[in-house]
Structure 1
Amino acid sequence: MRRRGGWILAAVLAVALFAAPLAAAEKFVVGSKAFTEQLILGKFAAVILRDLGFNVEEKIPLGGTNIVRQALESRQIHGYVEYTGTAATVFFKAKDPFPSGQATYEFVRDQDAPKGLVWLPPMAFNNTYCLMLRAADAERLGISTTSELAAYVNANPKELKFGVTNEFFARPDGLPKLLATYEMKPEPRNLNQMEPGLIYLAVKDGSIDVGTGFTTDGRIRAYNLKVLEDDRNMFPVYNPCFVLHKDILDKHPEIAEPFAKLGALLDEEAITELNYQATEENRAPGEIVEEFLKRHGIIK
């Protein structure tokens, strides 16, 4: 009987051992902000983590910058993709410009380390803010830089209508800094706060003349918009990085490798194309992401 009991115990342990990976699949909650590129980046994270065996819950989208950050700090989510320039200026209130994108990354990485948060290495592209006009209007007015826009606005303060997001209107690397840096004085009533996706359409159809956008948005190409040069280098570098809790990465160091592969592939051309497919070809972000990851061998 003792020998038989040993066999039974061994059999039970063997079953438990083989069942463990599925039964003990850990939960990982992925968040994102609410604009197109963030939906795509959030889906990248969700698909990669699911492929690694995590039980992934998606909060894609979750909300604006501060909402998603607070969710990460309170562990309502376990990771999301954030931009280095956003963290430097919004979370850590950096005032002085950084000499390089790498310096920006190292600053935010080191600031978050004591909080138990890890920034994986930055992805290859820089999605910085920009100002944009209809290409025909930019040519007609002779405006190709933000300094030239400021000079025109100051000479004609009532002429051009602006569209900015609610977040850009108030954040420290947004409208207040833009107006101060370029000494631009538009008519206050010409500053319209709008949803991000509506700004591109409003510039295109002439409802507004100048809009804030993101340099990697596919609608810039689709709508023939002119991105103005930030000739005073006001905006920092905004490299995206996957940010997660250190204890999770310590337990699962395998998370880093697929994100490193993805980050090397996602340059400005690649992410702009994915954004274009989502906004102009009406493809679901999840579908776009899975196709990209499989094509490049990051998931099976």
Structure 2
Amino acid sequence: MKSFYNGFSKSPFFTVLALVLSSFLMLASAGNFLQDFDLTWGDHRAKIFNGGQLLSLSLDQVSGSGFKSKNEYLFGRIDMQLKLVAGNSAGTVTAYYLSSEGPTHDEIDFEFLGNTSGDPYILHTNIFTQGKGNREQQFYLWFDPTKNFHTYSVIWDSKQIVFLVDKTPIRVFANAEGKGVPFPKNQPMRIHSSLWNADDWATRGGLVKTDWSKAPFTAYYRNFNVQGSTTSKFSNGAWQSQQLDAYSRRRLRWVQKNFMIYNYCNDSKRFPQGIPAECR
């Protein structure tokens, strides 16, 4: 991956600067994986180290693995640092997302689609409301996500959902209920993550299969942080909308201009009857 990422590291925008947002109403609550998460599947392939400060998920030819939060959250900010599967990760998917339960569930997705060595990961994002998704946006990253830990965040309130990478916003999904589009604001969600095999679709539409000679594939997690609550005072609006400042809006435009590789809002072939209402 060296040649691909080094080209972007020379960009004047590459320096990671702080995203300036309004002050939050709650102090951050630093998480501990032992206290805050359950290992849900994969047996020994999911592990917690260092007194709850580090977690790993692994995938081999028998099974992947996963975890979920013990608590549910309704609005707030969720931060997690990940270091993705290195080397030839084609066919693997590392999913990190928030989700409620049931057929009309809400969901906010980060999915990292592995690739052959030397090619970049694809960051796949999606939003489900009332059980309906099909709101995909995909990006390349401006760094190699397998070399070091990087922070992937969601800011979620009653007005919008913001996806961030190292404090840089990459996507904003605004509340469009006025246009008849449901918005996730009533169902508390748990934090989930899983590492699994998806070589039937993940890499070039399933053309590149998982190389099991490279297994086990492992991703690492640390520095979970949450600001938010499921209590009624927060669901009634005490968590205020966090608007992006001018600098953050410029960063958002920079990412979408240079690194976005798919946007459902621009896919007229997929929506011959007209683009979805929220895109307008």
Structure 1 and Structure 2 fold alike (TM over 0.5): no
Q: Which has the higher helix share?
A: 1
Return the structure number with greater strand share.
2
> What TM-score comes out, normalization by structure 1 length?
0.21
TM-score, L = length of structure 2: 0.22
